[in-house]
Amino acid sequence: MARRIRKRSRHKYHGTRRWGGGNIKHRRGKGSKGGKGFGGSHKQKWTWILRYHPDHFGRESMASLKKERQKVINLWEINRLVLDGKLKKGGDGKYLAELPDFKVLGTGKVEFPVFVQAGSFSKIAVDKIKGAGGDAKTVGQ
**Mean pLDDT for each 10-residue chunk of the chain (141 residues)?**
72 86 80 82 92 85 70 94 91 90 93 94 95 92 58
Task: Give the model confidence (pLDDT) of 89-103 as tens digits.
Answer: 888 889 999 998 899
Q: Are residues 131 and 94 in the same domain?
A: yes
- Report which of 91, 90, 103 is spatially closest to residue 139, judged by C-alpha positions: 103
Give the contacts of 42 (CB within 8 A, at least 6 positions apart): 49, 57
In a domain, 4, yes or no: no
- Domain extent at residue 32: 10-52
Q: pTM for the full model?
A: 0.53
Q: Are residues 45 and 88 in the same domain?
A: no
**Counting beta carbons within 10 angstroms of the beta carbon of residue 95, is it exposed (0 to 12), middle (13 to 18) or buried (19 or more)?**
buried
Q: Are residues 41 and 75 in the same domain?
A: no
Task: Give the model confidence (pLDDT) of 6-19 as tens digits.
Answer: 777 888 888 888 88
